[in-house]
Structure 1
Amino acid sequence: MYVIVILAMIAGFLALRLYSVLGKRTGHEQEPAPRPADERAKVTLVQPRPSADSPADSVRLADGLIAPGGEAGVRALIASDRQFDVPQFVDGAKSAYRMVLEAFWRGDRDELAWLCDSDVLASFEEAIAAREAQGEVLDNRLVRIEKAQIMSAAVNGRVAEVTLRFEADMAAITRDRDGNVIAGSMTDAISTNDIWTFTRDIGSADPNWKLSETDEA
């Protein structure tokens, strides 16, 4: 079974500090309650498609989920990992996108460690620490994910990587230690465009994909 794992993004007041690491973002969002591990797995779990399907089937049924120029890389990935399914992967990636953002907004380092690789995690932890030192709290909400599309895919040795573009609407407020609003508004949703890359060792028994790179579109 496939667990799509992903990390990261920054909204509102802190977005300007993390463009180079997490991509361009402006939005307003609320803080959700932490999820237990079993619920996290339920959110991101992806069922493998039946073994009778061919690599061509997953690509053919992608319905716009692969950007022009990305199909060859996806076919190569499916040839190396016969359980990789495009629609299911994208659905899981969208769930992970939301989970990463929400974990960052509430400063949940454990959740982020489960979702991303060490380099991306370090960037998030640094941003969270800076926010905490200033007594800032993000009150953010992911309004909707308008689009998620695979831009490219590749297999280098045992390591597979998939890069997706996310287009989303967000709302965000940054509050000070006293609860006063210092940035953002809950009445306006802001469009964001992010490019995230996920990697996995396809030779490993570990089914998890982790966020390994972020950028702005």
Structure 2
Amino acid sequence: MTRSFLARVATVVALTLGLASCYIPDNFHSELRLSRFGDWAVTFDGDLIYAPIMHDYAEGKITADNEEEKNQNIYKDLVRDPAIKAIQRIGKGRFNIKYERMGRLGKVQLSALLRRDARLLALKSAEDGTITIAGNGVRPGDAQRMTELGIGMRGEFRITTDGNVLRHNANEVRPFGQYRVYIWKVENAFSPSPILVMQREDDPQRPLEEK
């Protein structure tokens, strides 16, 4: 492994660490079900790659003596989240997970998958009644370096909702009874980050609480 290659790896990892999440999704299928009142349920089935450990591999800091411990520490970080229902170690900072979580957005609130300090997807409600769903993006320069190093970011994300969608950048929209399904095909790190903005309706049976 050449020094130039190691330098490129170190550079892309440093840039990746600037993202809102240290985990990169790959080979995944994820769906968010969002009601017009702000109730939601999200699933994720796929791989997560822990970016920081790549820096350690590139610099030769991962050895036969500490590799198990390093990867076990990542495993412990993931399994502490009760929304992760199943997890399988694949190797070199990559884990296959099944994630399920649900909730209800307050009047003004931010929720995230996986969590706020490891954000892949943000759900944000605002005073004006809008709900914004936004995926964590990758800057073009970072995406190019990830591609050169063979770091995948491929999958499919869907939002199923009966709400009044104001704008979105989905690749495809399908009717499903009273619902509509918004579909994003993520081909690589260059794919546009998913975004959808919906106008929430008041639920007469369950008034919103301030968060």
Superposition TM-score, scaled by structure 1 size? 0.29
In proportion to residue count, which structure has more strand? 2
Superposition TM-score, scaled by structure 2 size? 0.30
In proportion to residue count, which structure has more helix? 1
Question: RCO greater where, 1 or 2, for CA within 8 Å and sep 6 or more?
Answer: 1
Structure number, greater radius of gyration: 2
